[in-house]
Chains A and B, each alone.
Chain A
Amino acid sequence: MDYHLNHLKELESESIFILREVAAQFENPCLLFSGGKDSITVLYLALKAFYPASVPFTLLHVDTGHNFQEALDYRDELVKKFGLRLHVASVQEAIDKGMVREEKGFNASRNALQTVSLLDAIEKNKFDCAIGGARRDEEKARAKERFFSHRDEFGQWDPKNQRPELWNLFNGRKHVGEHFRVFPISNWTEMDVWQYIYQEKIPMPNLYFSHTRKVFQRDGVWYADSEYMQKKPDEVIEERVVRFRTVGDITCTGAVFSEAATVEDIIQEVAASRTTERGTRSDDKRSEAAMEDRKKAGYF
């Protein structure tokens, strides 16, 4: 008998191990849930890790208020179906309370404001660990992340002073007030995630599939037309057949022209694609170290 696992099974096993390690090492972990494919995959892995018991994590959605309605509907359905606990950290609320100040102008985005709401929710709810769906292949600063990533009492990441991480031995020890970010699918690529969704037949929000939508172009990126984005006079709204490769805040998530209507179509498209998925994210394009800087401040 040949005892070997294919790569998806091995990645799955690694991720399940990490999720169980979180449940064992932390008292009050939460799972960051955006309604995107990565957090959906992590949630699905959590269902597997603790079967037949319930998922021992609270879902935490950091809500910028600039959502795709489809993503919210999908989230609520999932919460109902699996009997999950959901906590929503609202950026709008943080703005109303004067905790943060909203950016002004055409490229205004609430992306950076999410960090404040996230850290606030972690502190108020005494979450000692936040599980995220970030992958190392997404972005160059994320390639340096640990599975168990320490955050100081200000929620900050210190990339030059990370704990070494060896074998399967994860050190989640911390002082009061500090917390951890844990990334169970660190070793997965965009392709792995889609293949897994295909293999496991995980239902996905409609945004990922080809549909007709009103969009406009800015700096080479096609954005969904929404009340949250102020249009410049020369920006023309067009109806196009598009889909989204990532799902985030509506104001910084770009669409791609696509006819991909099924997961298999998407896999074909990802295989043929010559750009990274974050190529459609304007939040990463602000500077060469945009992600590193946001992560140091406590971003996902």
Chain B
Amino acid sequence: MTTTDTIENFDTKAYLDMELLRFSTAGSVDDGKSTLIGRLLYDSKSIFQDQYDAIEAASQKRGEEYVNLALLTDGLRAEREQGITIDVAYRYFSTPKRKFIIGDTPGHIQYTRNMVTGASTANLAIILVDARKGIIEQTYRHSYIASLLQIPHIIVCINKMDLVDWDEKTFNRIVQEYRGFASKLDVKDVHFIPISALEGDNVVKRSKNMDWYNGPTLLYLLENIHVGSDLNHIDARFPVQYVIRPMKNEYHDYRGYAGRIAGGVFRVGDKVKALPSGFTSKIKSITTMDGDLQEAFAPQSVTILLEDEIDISRGDMIVRENNVPKIEQEFDVMLCWMNEKKMIAKGKYILRHTTKECKCIVKEIKYKLDINTLQRIENGPELGLNDIARVSIRTTVPLFFDSYRKNRNTGSIILVDEMTNETVAAGMIV
């Protein structure tokens, strides 16, 4: 039931023009990640009264002193019982400026696979550091995964500042140490904020306890960080997802290629090439149910019609004639193994890349990576759950791809076990 606590004149027009920001959070056990998310939701008024009442009652039942905001994010019974987060959970909140999707990933060592999963769709990563403990192994691991997954922006939140007397020197020391480590990583945009998730300092509201900090609050940064140029708008890539052939008289010769643009911009009249056939044509129209478009860009879902009748089906790719991706059957991948069953040496797997599926063989493990030290382990004999390694893969048919660094959509693959049908690995093409 609604209360009388109304917001006057909620601005519908402004809401329709909000931007979407997907971010992931990673932290270690007990460094306050769930509390931080709870704080963001609570202070931005995204928690409903019935939800709050439920966690308040649950906190009291557990004999806790304060309302445990962490209970908001633990959705499964086993998680509540054990007080840990097992699986990626997605949370939603919005402010008048942006809508946010949080991929909340657990920080235990055994859950690297979840961190990779949460990071795969994120534009931004929040990495939490406990001010008392400083940078620890898990901080390295989270940061490395963020860089491996090419998350464009990282915010390092130095949390529990209340427990170090809001000390500026502690903050600066951690920042220095992190910068030294981050210089070895492939990260472009890093920010540091001293916070107390428990008390709310510098999360949504400015801290009164840390006059020495002049930077933005976490929410301000989340609302204003520039994400417009995160997608590749240069290299036009259109993986064909589905061929639309209406069985209706008025659309007798209609052949529409449906898909989501994976990179770049397509315009009516563009000279395009279909892969793997290599046939060329021109874009006749770009269609949606809301009307035809003159141009379309990533990540729009559209239907493309060509001037000429050429044979194109699911798994093929439409690109610009003068800008084609790599077309190869052998390539190197940074592979994250995600299954309890170890990788089989020279094993055969099903590979999924954009809308294409084929068989592949993992030819060789070039090196395994110790993600806590970033050291390469040569001659690593096998890959197990949560291992990351550089491997070379051979596919049964050529793939059309870009490096993951250039395009996250056309540079990513998953491997599927033929027997169990489980997704066993995620890979980024080098």
Chain A residues within 8 Å of B, Cβ to Cβ: 2-14, 16-17, 20-21, 23-24, 47-54, 136-137, 140-144, 159-160, 162-169, 171, 173-175, 186-187, 189, 191-192, 195, 198-199, 256-258, 264, 267-269, 271-276, 279-280, 288-289, 292
Taking the nearest CB of chain B, how far is it from the CB of A147, in angstroms? 10
- How far is A169 from B117 in the complex, measured between Cα atoms in Å? 11
A189 to B15, CA, bound (A): 13
Q: How far is the CA of A273 from the CA of B423 in the complex (A)?
A: 40
- Pairs across A and B, CB under 8 Å, 25 listed: A6-B17, A6-B18, A17-B241, A21-B355, A51-B244, A140-B74, A142-B75, A163-B422, A164-B116, A166-B117, A171-B423, A173-B416, A187-B90, A191-B94, A198-B12, A268-B9, A271-B7, A273-B2, A274-B5, A274-B49, A275-B1, A276-B51, A288-B77, A292-B76, A292-B77
Docked pose: A52 CA to B251 CA in angstroms: 8
Known A-B contacts A159-B87, A272-B7; the reply to A187 vs B101 at CB < 8 A is: yes
Known A-B contacts A48-B289, A53-B244, A171-B421; the reply to A160 vs B78 at CB < 8 A is yes
A257 contacts across to B, CB distance below 8 A: 1-2
Write out the residue numbers on chain A whose beta carbons fall within 8 Å of the beta carbon of B18. Answer: 6-7
Given contacts A53-B247, A166-B414, A186-B90, contact A7 B19 (CB under 8 A): yes
Complex CA distance for A162 and B338, rounded to whole angstroms:
11
- With A187-B92, A271-B10, A289-B77 known as contacts, the answer to whether A49 contacts B258 (CB < 8 A) is yes
Q: Which residues of A contact B88 (CB under 8 A)?
A: 144
> Is A6 a contact of B19 with CB atoms below 8 Å?
yes
Give the residues in chain A near B66, CB-CB below 8 Å.
none
- In the complex, the answer to whether A267 meets B2 with C-beta atoms within 8 Å is no
B interface residues, Cβ below 8 angstroms from A: 1-3, 5-7, 9-10, 12, 15-20, 48-51, 54, 58, 73-78, 80, 86-92, 94, 98-99, 101, 113-114, 116-117, 120-121, 228, 231, 233, 241-242, 244-248, 251, 254, 258-260, 265, 287-290, 297-301, 303, 314, 338, 350, 352-355, 408-409, 412-414, 416, 421-423, 426
Which chain A positions have C-beta within 8 A of B242? 20, 23-24
In the bound assembly, the distance between CA atoms of A272 and B50 in angstroms comes to: 14
Complex CA gap A167/B409 in Å reads: 7
Task: Given A165-B423, A167-B409, A275-B48, decide whether A53 and B246 contact each other with a Cβ distance below 8 A.
Answer: yes
**How many Å from the CB of A150 to the closest CB on chain B?**
8
Query: How many Å from the CB of B160 to the closest CB on chain A?
Result: 26
Contact: A195 with B75, CB < 8 Å? no
Q: Write the nearest CB–CB distance from B192 to chain A, whole angstroms.
A: 27
**One of A166, A191, A292 near B412 (C-beta < 8 A):** A166
Complex CA gap A102/B410 in Å reads 52
Chain B residues near A12 (CB-CB < 8 A) = 301
The residue that B5 contacts in the complex, of A8, A171, A272, with Cβ under 8 A, is: A272
In the complex, how many angstroms separate the beta carbon of A280 from the nearest chain B beta carbon? 8
Measured in the bound complex, the distance between the Cα atoms of B54 and A188 in whole Å is 23
In the bound complex, CA of A280 to CA of B48 (Å): 13
Are the C-beta atoms of B99 and A192 separated by less than 8 Å? yes
Q: How far is the CB of B303 from chain A (nearest CB, A)?
A: 8
Query: How many angstroms between the C-alpha atoms of A5 and B260 in the bound complex?
Result: 13
Residue of B1, B75, B314 touching A140 (CB-CB under 8 A)? B75
Residues of A within 8 A of B20 (CB): 5-7, 10-11
Q: Report which residue of A47, A51, A169 has the largest number of chain B beta carbons within 10 angstroms of its beta carbon.
A: A169
Q: Report the minimal beta-carbon distance from B87 to chain A, rounded to whole angstroms.
A: 5
Instruction: Report the minimum CB–CB distance from B411 to chain A (whole Å).
Output: 9
- Across the interface, name the chain B residue whose C-beta is closest to A139: B75
Verify A189–B10 contact, CB threshold 8 A.
no
Minimum Cβ distance to chain B for residue A203 (Å): 16
Q: Compute how far the CA of A8 lies from the CA of B246 in the bound complex, rounded to whole angstroms.
A: 27
Give the Cβ gap from B21 to chain A, nearest Cβ, in Å: 9
| Nearest CB on A from B256, distance (A) | 8
Give which listed residue, A9, A17, A195, A275, contacts B50 with CB less than 8 A.
A275
Q: Do B99 and A167 touch across chains, with their CB atoms under 8 A apart?
A: no
Shortest CB–CB separation between residue B118 and chain A, in angstroms?
9
Given contacts A175-B421, A187-B101, A273-B2, contact A13 B16 (CB under 8 A): no
Contact between chains at A256 and B2 (CB < 8 Å): yes
Within 8 Å CB of B244, what residues of A?
Answer: 50-53
B403 smallest CB distance to A (angstroms): 15
